[in-house]
Structure 1
């Protein structure tokens, strides 16, 4: 449990530290995305989802912060309760703080294609109201990060994840006490790369998440692969706005063994979801 206590302490300390620092830069956005091929474990149907997102990214003297909240609304193929004709609702929030070790120590930690090295800590929280699982995820994140020297940014982190959940099964009316999975490793990457000579950006994240032991029902978990990428076009000039204010584009998500459920035994455990997306940055 020591790494988990360190993660919690680091996250709290980093949050307090950045609150005391003036941001050198920041980007706040509201976005909307839509897809009709979402999937959920144990469901197996194509699900339509409308997703509204609020995100904030900022940088200060010693590092950077990222906070994001998704609000997801499903159609009736992912019902809100047993027999319901309305869809489930979900809120998913995450926070990451990356402490740049070069900036903290005053040393240049660049080498080869790497421009810097840091430590990332944070958390994920979700809550979903659906007929089956009703997730209440809580997760702490801690690990080193490598920042590559590219136009825009490309960060790769090797992290430890400490995750728990306390679901409520709407079919059996059974509540599960908060269950803690095995602490497991993950490789996280995120990027935003401008396309030369055109107002396009290639953005996204790719996560490789190790198996987390037995789940709360005594079944083995599987390695997850979650890739979410988007190509966004800056239409601000068409609307008379400052650059990078309004963006529209397309996105695609590939999520294998979603939430650690193995696709070979769980229907709907792998999603392949094209989406359309619009963003407003301020």
Structure 2
């Protein structure tokens, strides 16, 4: 976990420095819970409690996004061979988007597009599960379109450079770090407010990822679809706090061919997971 801890510390420093120069920022702590999570090569419905720290901020030339999930599985996703305790995972996402219109001082809007940019960043994880312990590391980069909607809707086409270095506690077998073929992801992220008598927002992301060649064991990979969306209710005024301080809602994730694992004869490779979610923004 030491590499992930160093990454988290560095990003905390970066977020602090960025916030000082930010035109706007939003930091949140959230909790979500579901009982139908899935993991490849595991046929069980897994319960997970997930705590998240997120930070998004905008500055003169673009914006930053940082997310740290801490995922705590039930014993059906064991932490080690023969263990009665569930796996723990930390997953970091960081993205930085440069807005070409802000950099050049020109209006680059056209049709439904209000801005054009370039996004780069990375993903990293560490997990204590019995069978895989992937230690994922991934760099991403590519163009972004910012669409003209209430709130935001950003669509990016990113190149992915992904590697992992799994360790199997059943066999005590470590696999040297393995790099997949460079592959592509079409991704969208959105937060769109609406009102039906109560203040709501439709939020989430959708990733469509091409196959990434063979895995470290020589098996083929499949394209992934990962859609995670939620409807959130801003209860802030009801509890006497400023707008957008407290939110509660429902969330749903559909993830086919999780991590590129084909779901053929592998039901755990596709997840259909309803969740409840609560957020505190500060």
TM-score of the pair, normalised by structure 1:
0.93
Residue 267 of structure 2 aligns to a residue in which SS? Answer: coil
Q: Per the alignment, in what secondary structure is the counterpart of residue 269 of structure 2?
A: coil
Q: Tell me the distance in 1 between the aligned counterparts of 2:163 and 2:54.
A: 24
User: How far 1:265 sits from its partner (Å)?
Assistant: 3.6
Question: In the TM superposition, what is the alpha-carbon distance from 1:266 to its structure 2 partner?
Answer: 2.5
Aligned to 1:85: 84
- The count of residues paired between Structure 1 and Structure 2 equals 268
Partner in structure 1 of residue 31 of structure 2: 32
**Which residue of the partner structure matches residue 179 of structure 1?**
178
Partners of 1:118 and 1:157 in 2: CA distance? 9
- Tell me the distance in 1 between the aligned counterparts of 2:82 and 2:159: 39
Consecutive unaligned residues in structure 1, runs of 5 or more: 1-11
Residue by residue over 1:35-70, the C-alpha shift from the partner in whole angstroms, topping out at 9 and shown as x without a partner, is 000000011100000000000000000000000000
Q: Contact conserved, 2:92 with 2:124, CA < 8 A, in 1?
A: yes
Deviation above 6 Å: which 4+ runs of structure 1? none
Q: Deviations over 1:59-96 (max 9, x none)?
A: 00000000000000000100011111100000000100
Q: Indicate yes or no: 2:208 matched with 1:208.
A: yes
Q: Deviations over 1:123-150 (max 9, x none)?
A: 0000000110012000000000000000
Deviation at 1:21?
6.9
Q: Deviations over 1:192-234 (max 9, x none)?
A: 0011353100000000001000000100000000000000000
SS in 2 for 1:268: helix
Is the contact between residue 19 and residue 57 of structure 2 (CA under 8 Å) also seen in structure 1? no
2:31–2:277 CA contact under 8 A, matched in 1: yes
* RMSD, aligned CA: 1.5
Q: Give 2:233's aligned residue.
A: 233
Local SS of the residue matching 2:228: strand
Query: Which residue of 2 is the match for residue 106 of structure 1?
Result: 105
1:29-68 alignment runs, 5 A limit: 29-68=28-67
